[in-house]
Structure 1
């Protein structure tokens, strides 16, 4: 468990005790952002994709991934961003030993969903767990929801209480065809019956997110996506 730090709100005199949350690496080890002790917290007025993430190295396997930057809400209403030691240096050279047996993939560790940003974090972590480490915001904004992308993959998240529609599924599929990439859809409120039928026809994997942040496959292409990444 990471050590607690004292955080003073720049908008009011309040002080807080903050413990960085540890999130699971693809190898299963917990990774907590190393906070810069003594550095002042920054009040957040606007969110951008690059500012919301920080590059960290797993202390167990050495893997470098992007993780949600730690934030803290003050009682005065200010949202505080905590300075983190961002690891941008390339990992040391490593020559892996030959393996005769592929180790089993660790279980996915979800992140609870309270906001749309939490849902984006949960999907990004799940895609990394599936084998797509370079998850980022998609360059092309979808007609609805939030677009994500990785090498060889486009993904869409519908974080609202509106079930995904046939048009949502078809637009994602057309984008994947244009970019010659695989695609996957995540929804908090599920899918209309017509959307599920069309997704089966187009072989689009569909997942439903519950509030624990655990994506659940809802069609055969989603089951096959999980099995193919194991």
Structure 2
């Protein structure tokens, strides 16, 4: 479990306990940005792409990659950037030697390999991340359709109709119902991806229609947000 550290807001002087999030490396090892102890949190006055990312080295494979900058929202309304230790120079740490894997029974299905996310910096990256995830779930020949006027982009594959909303607008009931109708007419599974989440009404409607809902984080890793999505991740295409 990630250790919580005290963080004081320089604006209102309130103190918070903050635990940085962990993200999966492509090797499967959880990576947690190492906080710089003793350094004060900095109010975020202006956002830039460069300030949203930090370089962190994976403790398992030694790979250095870009991960979201740790942030904390204070109850006074101030957004705080939490300082992170810089990546140490020198050779990466030696990889851990794992014991030989016990062979699976001949009748057992082949285990799914680790998902390799794509960092999201643009709307196109969001579509690419969703397409890669659908392929990882087992869908073949995933292709994108023409973007709609409202910025959403469709993805199609045999037995699949998906929608990707890369804007900052939460998906609504109408979005979910339109996707469900499209999947129903195509006799396919409808899957929704968004960066900004869903309204409460949209989530309730998706549960009723058994539409899998996913939220894309900035690392490009989709997170299931309802039971149909959990089931899809478990069973695959």
Question: What TM-score does the superposition give when structure 1 sets the normalisation length?
Answer: 0.55
Q: Distance in 2 between matches of 1:142 and 1:205?
A: 23
On the 8 A contact 2:117/2:219 being kept in 1, the answer is: yes
**Does residue 1:198 correspond to 2:178, yes or no?**
no
Q: Distance in 1 between matches of 2:219 and 2:146?
A: 28
1:169 is displaced (CA, Å) by 0.3
**Does residue 1:110 correspond to 2:111, yes or no?**
no
1:133 is displaced (CA, Å) by 1.9
Change (3 A) 1:183 1:118: same
Q: Distance in 2 between matches of 1:227 and 1:170?
A: 24
Aligned length: 134
1:142 is displaced (CA, Å) by 8.0
Write the mapping of 1:48-197 to structure 2, written as runs, cut at 5 A: 99-138=106-145, 141=148, 145-197=152-204
Change (3 A) 1:142 1:228: farther
**Does residue 1:211 correspond to 2:215, yes or no?**
no
1:100 is displaced (CA, Å) by 3.6
Q: Distance in 2 between matches of 1:155 and 1:112?
A: 20
Moved over 3 A (4+): 138-144
Q: Distance in 1 between matches of 2:205 and 2:108?
A: 39
Change (3 A) 1:210 1:128: same
| Corresponding residue of 1:46 | none
In structure 2, the residue corresponding to 1:106 is in which secondary structure?
A: coil
Q: Distance in 2 between matches of 1:116 and 1:140?
A: 11
1:101 is displaced (CA, Å) by 3.3
Q: Distance in 1 between matches of 2:159 and 2:149?
A: 17
Worse-superposed segment, 100-109 or 190-199:
100-109
Q: Distance in 2 between matches of 1:180 and 1:138?
A: 18
Q: CA RMSD in A?
A: 2.1
Change (3 A) 1:194 1:167: same
In structure 2, the residue corresponding to 1:101 is in which secondary structure?
A: coil
Change (3 A) 1:184 1:202: same
| Corresponding residue of 1:223 | 230
